[in-house]
Structure 1
Amino acid sequence: MPVIAQLLTAALLVCLSFAARAEKLRIVTEPWAPYVYEENGQPRGLDYETTAIVFQRLGIEVQWQFLPWKRCLAMLDQGLADGALDIFHSNERDATLLYPSEPLSQVEFVMFYANARPHPFNTLEDLRGLTIGTSPGYLYSQDFRESTLFTREPAPTHEANFGKLARGRIDLLITDRRVGQTLLDSLNLRDQISESPTVISRESQFLAVRRNAGMDLLVQRFGAELKRFKREPAYAQLSARYGAAPAKDQTLVPAQAREEKTVEQQESSAQ
């Protein structure tokens, strides 16, 4: 039997296996607009809708659960969830998680600052002595998370982080550019908080599933169908609905390469 036919047959058996057990694939995620969020009780977002379309084409029913990110990771570790949406790849998770070859989206971590208290920077050295708001359970770039130059202070939600920044309880906060811009509008903070142009790191977001029987074949099919869908006009329309690509900017220059002002740092980090 040709390899393609074998993969199709195996993927079909995975789908039938879920149906036979009257089970849905259990996917957990954290609200992360505009990629995935809830609106009037209904899931929305670029990555959610893309994933839902791909699973529909594969004949897989999904049970979605929105939780704080640390809880999502705990459910994966405990086997209470089959997969997570919008997770970064990390070598440490390869032993327990499977990732498709095709990512769902790209994120750019940047800093946001209060207009009344700007803190311009080009390197991590420029953040010395500051307090940076972070999100619990998120794994940022290695340089950022291991630096002793500044303090990292987690907040329970992204909204809480922006509230702390507006009230002067932190000096800066780090989050994805598009997520931050979405929150500035939803929290009516656009006149108080701005985005720094320096990109701390860039990462790909994936749907990842636990290493269970048959999941490797499901991941292969998911990646292939996702890649196919992203070439269709429907995906272009979906992407446009959730905002255009970010504008060009400067990228963080590591302290050890400070003199190389044009070097673009591509770091390995995981959510």
Structure 2
Amino acid sequence: MVALSKYPVKHRWNRCGLVGVLLVVCVFGMVATARGEQVTMAIDNYPPYHIIPEDGGEPYGETISIVKAVVGRVNRHGGFDFTLSYTPDTPFKRCLQMMKKGEADIMGGLFNKADREAYMEMLEYKGRSNKIFVLPKTSRITITSHEDLQGLKIGTQLGFLYFDTFDTDPTLHKAPVVRIKQNMHKLLKGRIDTFVLSEIQFNSLNEAYPALTAQLKVAEYVYDQANPVCIGISRQSFLMAPVYLDIFRKVVTDMRTSGEFVRILEAFYGAYHSKKP
């Protein structure tokens, strides 16, 4: 009060009004800048979810198709001009660290867990992702239930989550690797007993490495319960500003309830499999 009393009322209002105008200009300036902002998606080479062509072409895949469609819809709804770019082939665990630090803006194909919610806004787009266990064809091991995993050395992938019963079981012997192909080699060399992955991922491996997968078989135990899959937005990203995040939330909800995500996946896999000889 003492400091303000130096100025007449009129001058105080002029000063406050100027500050208000400057704040409005700054806010609208930020929005205008972000309208043409680049959105960085963290990806690893993980067919069929993320496929990074060897010839340097644009990455594509199931998850990339979903995120591209969402960003395109957000642009139309919000009048933005976001462009989607991708990290180089980055190990999954490093992708999560990039999201935590705000070095990437968005990821897809994520399970919603409490630790991830601490640094990402999670937007559900798919209701399930079946998980399977793979064995050598010559193996005498049978896996018909979760209990049969006890005592086995199970190949996993660094940073990946599969399903709650598996992820939270401290009695299981898990042996993580950086790349999924490493698990196939380890399995065939007898260094692990089995490895876990999604059913879709195994189908993709079968197409990419038929000589290897011909030596493998799928165990009877399949986890096929609901385990929602999400898009994650880094809490350190500019996309967390309400003017953007509110539209992302609405777009993802609308696309999920309308069945559009299912249609995108069907179109992707129709084109993907048609390219195979």
TM-score by length of 1: 0.73
2:216 aligns with 193
Which whole-Å CA distance do the structure 1 matches of 2:195 and 2:125 have between them? 26
Could you give the per-residue CA deviations for residues 57-101 of structure 1, whole angstroms, max 9, x where no partner exists?
A: 32221221131111111112222122222221112232321122x
Comparing both structures, which one devotes a greater share of its residues to helix? 2
2:14 aligns with none
The one of 25, 36, 54 equivalent to 2:70 is 54
Deviation at 1:130, TM superposition (A): 1.3
Asked if the contact 2:100–2:235 (Cα under 8 Å) also holds between the matched residues in 1, the reply is no
The count of corresponding residues between Structure 1 and Structure 2 is 230
Which whole-Å CA distance do the structure 1 matches of 2:169 and 2:175 have between them? 13
Which whole-Å CA distance do the structure 1 matches of 2:30 and 2:72 have between them? 14
Moved more, 227-236 or 50-59: 227-236
Which whole-Å CA distance do the structure 1 matches of 2:267 and 2:156 have between them? 29
Asked if the contact 1:109–1:176 (Cα under 8 Å) also holds between the matched residues in 2, the reply is yes
Question: What's the secondary structure of 2:86's corresponding residue?
Answer: strand
Which whole-Å CA distance do the structure 1 matches of 2:228 and 2:112 have between them? 8
Could you give the per-residue CA deviations for residues 96-130 of structure 1, whole angstroms, max 9, x where no partner exists?
A: 21122x41563122111111114222333222321
In our comparison, the structure showing a higher alpha carbon Rg is: 2
The one of 12, 19, 31 equivalent to 2:45 is 31
Which whole-Å CA distance do the structure 2 matches of 1:140 and 1:33 have between them? 17
Which whole-Å CA distance do the structure 1 matches of 2:31 and 2:219 have between them? 45
Moved more, 65-74 or 76-85: 76-85
2:104 aligns with 81
2:134 aligns with 112
Which whole-Å CA distance do the structure 2 matches of 1:74 and 1:184 have between them? 30
Q: How does 1:34-45 map to 2 (within 5 A)?
A: 34-39=48-53, 40=55, 41-45=57-61
Instruction: Say if 2:165 is the partner of 1:143.
Output: yes
Q: How does 1:116-127 map to 2 (within 5 A)?
A: 116-127=138-149
Asked if the contact 1:99–1:219 (Cα under 8 Å) also holds between the matched residues in 2, the reply is no
Q: Which runs of 5+ in 2 are unaligned?
A: 1-27, 76-81, 271-277
Report sequence identity in percent: 23
Moved more, 46-55 or 140-149: 140-149
Instruction: Say if 2:107 is the partner of 1:69.
Output: no
